[in-house]
Amino acid sequence: MSNVLKKDAFILPEGVIYLDGNSLGPLPKGVAARVQKMLSDEWGQMVIRGWNGAGWMDQPAKIGDQVGRIIGAPTGSVVMGDTLSIKVFQALASAVKMRPERRVILSDTGNFPSDLYMAEGLVGLLAQGYELQTVAPEEVAGAINETHAAVLLTEVDYRTGRRHDVAAITKTAQAQGAVMIWDLAHSAGALPVDLLGSGCEMAIGCTYKYLNGGPGAPAFIYVRPDLMDSIEPALSGWLGHRQPFDFDLNYQPGLGIERMRVGTPPIIQLAALEVAMELWEDIDMNELRAASLALQEQFIFEVERDAPQLTLASPREGAIRGSQVSFQFEHGYAAMQAVIDHGVIGDFRAPDIMRFGFTPMYLDAADISAAVKVIADVMNNRLWDNDKYKTRSKVT
Ligand SMILES: *Cc1c(COP(=O)(O)O)cnc(C)c1O
């Protein structure tokens, strides 16, 4: 058995097989005590003295280094803060300033809508002929040209799990003179990432999915070390200033990755994330990837054998798939509600995708077989065909 399995380190609800860690990771056991201690000993007793005395001000860079370790980023090149949508805007705004003579941002139609919405918002604000261009994911590499200021892509498609070739696309983008930004929302904690080796200029991602930081956990941003002291932060908040407590009237960017900070960091949420990140310290990402692929292969094999009503929507080849498997089914929403009601939690993405995430830190082969049994029961006995499963909730 692989040593990436640490089921005991998590609180997993009784009677549930959790295949949705790609959307919101479960609660690591140590979080409650750490957060409670932070509240009682730090906020409760130190009050404002906690910023210095409990090291709150250093948390964004310190935890950034913990995240950096599993995405191939050197110490001092990652910092935490804000939400991923904000980090998309921040990275893009800096990227277009690096290529002032160019006007086009390239992305793909498989990207998560928020990334595209933030890019649209930015080009609207910049005006001056800026535009966002999107092409099909398969066409991205061939579409990159010398009009592109920046290429913004999410490595793993949130809907299908299809995976881009980070190294190859980065090379192509840079050969055309574009700045490459990778969104690692579905990569960080899911598969090995070699940011420094890829040479990309920037990367961003969230920590509540595979990293188990909890709902609302802060996002991260990486800047390639040689660019850190020249990159211009458009979100020029006071905590990215070189000397925030000089209260200087003019903005002067801080040194290194600190300049990508914006405002007051979420200290309670960072306390939870710090505990969650400690679980990664002895994880070998190659081992984790191998374990994830084994679970996915087993799942695909058993679902196709036992629930033939479902059609695989993810790439069949493991190497070009992230850590999730999606199936298409006409009544996918109702079917997923029925599956959840019977103890297997996955999620649904419009229009007809049933999505399942694989997280070898707390799932094993027996869980996969038990989950497929439930899915097959729902499909073969049409348990989904019930009015109570057909009304859509706000969050799907
Ligand atoms: C999950 C996800 C987001 C969500 O952004 P938030 O600001 O954290 O809500 C954005 N982009 C991608 C690619 C995602 O997968």
Per-residue model confidence (pLDDT) at position 396: 84
154 CB within 6 A, ligand 1: yes
Is residue 1's pLDDT more than 50?
Answer: no
CA distance 32 to 212: 13
Return the percentage of the chain with pLDDT > 70, whole number: 99
| Domain positions in the chain | 7-28+284-389, 55-278
Range 272-301 average pLDDT: 98
Tell me how far CA of residue 156 lies from CA of 108, 115, 186, 324, in angstroms.
Answer: 12, 13, 6, 9
Pocket test for ligand 1, best of 85, 157, 164, 187 (most atoms within 8 A of CB): 85
What integer best gives the mean pLDDT of the chain?
97
What number does the ligand 1 atom closest to the CA of 183 have?
13
Q: How confident is the model at residue 2 (pLDDT cuts 50, 70, 90)?
A: low
Cis peptide before 113 (omega within 30 of 0): no
Residue nearest to atom 2 of ligand 1 (CA): 185
Residue nearest to atom 13 of ligand 1 (CA): 112
Instruction: Give the chain's largest Cα–Cα span.
Output: 68
CA distance 89 to 234: 9
SS3 235: coil
Residues 51-101 pLDDT 10s: 999 999 999 999 999 999 999 999 999 999 999 999 999 999 999 999 999
117 CB within 6 A, ligand 1: no
Q: How confident is the model at residue 333 (pLDDT cuts 50, 70, 90)?
A: very high
CA 343 to chain centre: 25
Residues 335-361 pLDDT 10s: 999 999 999 999 999 999 999 999 999
Pocket test for ligand 1, best of 86, 114, 158 (most atoms within 8 A of CB): 114
SS3 26: coil
SS3 190: coil
Range 26-38 average pLDDT: 98
What number does the ligand 1 atom closest to the CA of 185 have?
15
**What are the residues whose beta carbons fall under 8 Å from the beta carbon of 336, sequence distance 6 or more?**
346, 347, 348, 354, 396
Is residue 316's pLDDT more than 80?
Answer: yes
- For ligand 1, the distance from its centroid to the CA atom of residue 305, given in whole angstroms, is 33
Neighbours of 100 (CB within 10 A): 8
Return the percentage of the chain with pLDDT > 90, whole number: 98
Q: If you classify domain 7-28+284-389 with CATH, what class do you get?
A: alpha beta
The kind and range of the H/E element at 374 are helix 365-380
Pocket test for ligand 1, best of 86, 117, 206, 355 (most atoms within 8 A of CB): 206
Residue nearest to atom 6 of ligand 1 (CA): 84
159 CB within 6 A, ligand 1: no
CA distance 281 to 264: 27
Architecture of the 55-278 domain: 3-Layer(aba) Sandwich (3.40)
